[in-house]
Structure 1
Amino acid sequence: METTTPRIAVIYATAQGSTREIADFIGAYLAARGATVEVADTEHAPELSRFDAVVLGSAVHDRALLPELEEFVRPHRHELRARRVWLFSVGLGPALVGPIGRRVGRIVPKEIAALRDSIEPVDYHAFAGHYERAGVSLPARTIYRVLGGTRYGDLRDWSAITLWSDAIAQALNLPQAQATPTHP
């Protein structure tokens, strides 16, 4: 019996680069597990018919995925539903640790849920991103602190990103990697 190498597209929309770095890591992780992977932003996304699976990612602004990802998904909805898709978002919610913040952070905003449900992904996961204090208004910083934001800077949890990437690899029956890529 001949086995084929799964072909995976990792397509992302980023505002400041954090989502791109996560997408690059996921792509490198899946490639290390034996998949043929192409990572691209939505503007340079490859033809989906060439791929067995797709990983989509976007930064979250104003409780919604970036318009670039939504504009990519809309005309490709049927193609995406015809293959295995994983969806991730990058925002502040997962970084909130206070009692109110944890509850708020677990809520999937309506706009994100609508897009998620339109493509029926195998899984959706929200990751924390970067949140820099510079340029953030006092009211926004106050709300962040009240909701349980404890620090600024790179809030990404690379262990969680690695575990999620591993779950994708397992779902696609990829072999174990000889070496695991490191995050930025």
Structure 2
Amino acid sequence: MEANKARIAVIYATAQGSTRDIAEFIGETLIARGAVVELSDVEHAPELSGFDVVILGSAVHDRALLPAVKSYVSTHRDALADTDVWLFSVGLGPALRGPIGRRIGRTVPKKIAALRDSISPRDYRAFAGHYERAGVSLQARALYRLMGGTRYGDLRDWTAIRTWATDIAVSLGLPEATSTPIHP
């Protein structure tokens, strides 16, 4: 694929904005490497026939991708099968520490694995999101701590996100970046 012809759709579903921020950052990283990127939430996703690559991201709730992504994949399965797809999720798992938390964080939940396997992406990556203490029940906070949650707030690992976006760019043969996007 020629770098100046790489057309990439970055499509996401977000609940509180973390997934959108990550999708925007991935898109900016690929634009800086010469790709033509269209960023869209899943409800307003473009027709896929005009794209060489689709990067699909979703927040994780109850150990599953958001229902809008499940519906999108079901509706567009054939088009996704004909496209180079990369998949990412945003949840708490990657931020967990300790023996239990690391094990949970490395495990791909069954519902996510089933959706992932149904579209056979080139890669799937789980990233931590943003988790605030306010509004979370005492029981949920205790469980978070028991699983190895060490802090609240922005848990996103921007270096890991940049590395993954760079891996995508390299796999597509995109040139070196002309600028360096800064995360939110």
TM range, smaller chain: over 0.9
Query: Could you tell me which residue of structure 1 aligns to residue 39 of structure 2?
Result: 39
Give how far 1:11 is off.
0.2
The SS at the match of 2:166 is helix
Q: Give the TM-score of the pair, scaled to structure 1.
A: 0.97
2:93 maps to 1:73: no
Give how far 1:154 is off.
0.3
2:99 maps to 1:99: yes
Paired residue type of 1:69: V
Structure 2 CA distance for aligned equivalents of residues 86 and 166 of structure 1: 13
Structure 1 residues 4 and 145: CA distance shift in structure 2, 3 A: same
Structure 1 CA distance for aligned equivalents of residues 48 and 22 of structure 2: 20
Give how far 1:84 is off.
0.7
Give how far 1:4 is off.
4.6
The SS at the match of 2:76 is helix
Query: Could you tell me which residue of structure 2 aligns to residue 61 of structure 1?
Result: 61
Identical-pair percentage: 70
Could you give the per-residue CA deviations for residues 109-166 of structure 1, whole angstroms, max 9, x where no partner exists?
Answer: 1110011001000000000001100111111101110111000000000000000000
Structure 2 CA distance for aligned equivalents of residues 72 and 41 of structure 1: 11
Q: Give the TM-score of the pair, scaled to structure 2.
A: 0.97
Q: Would you say how many aligned residue pairs link Structure 1 and Structure 2?
A: 183
Paired residue type of 1:54: V
Structure 1 CA distance for aligned equivalents of residues 105 and 137 of structure 2: 21
Structure 2 CA distance for aligned equivalents of residues 12 and 156 of structure 1: 16
Contact 2:3 2:173 in 1 (8 A): no
Could you give the per-residue CA deviations for residues 28-68 of structure 1, whole angstroms, max 9, x where no partner exists?
Answer: 10011000000000111000001000000000000000001
**CA-based RMSD:** 1.0
Structure 2 CA distance for aligned equivalents of residues 24 and 47 of structure 1: 19
Structure 1 CA distance for aligned equivalents of residues 152 and 114 of structure 2: 30
Give how far 1:75 is off.
1.1
Q: Which runs of 4+ in 1 moved over 2 A?
A: none
Contact 2:8 2:37 in 1 (8 A): yes
Structure 2 CA distance for aligned equivalents of residues 179 and 160 of structure 1: 18
Query: Could you tell me which residue of structure 1 aligns to residue 117 of structure 2?
Result: 117
Structure 2 CA distance for aligned equivalents of residues 3 and 144 of structure 1: 43
Give how far 1:81 is off.
1.3
Structure 2 unaligned blocks of 5 or more: none
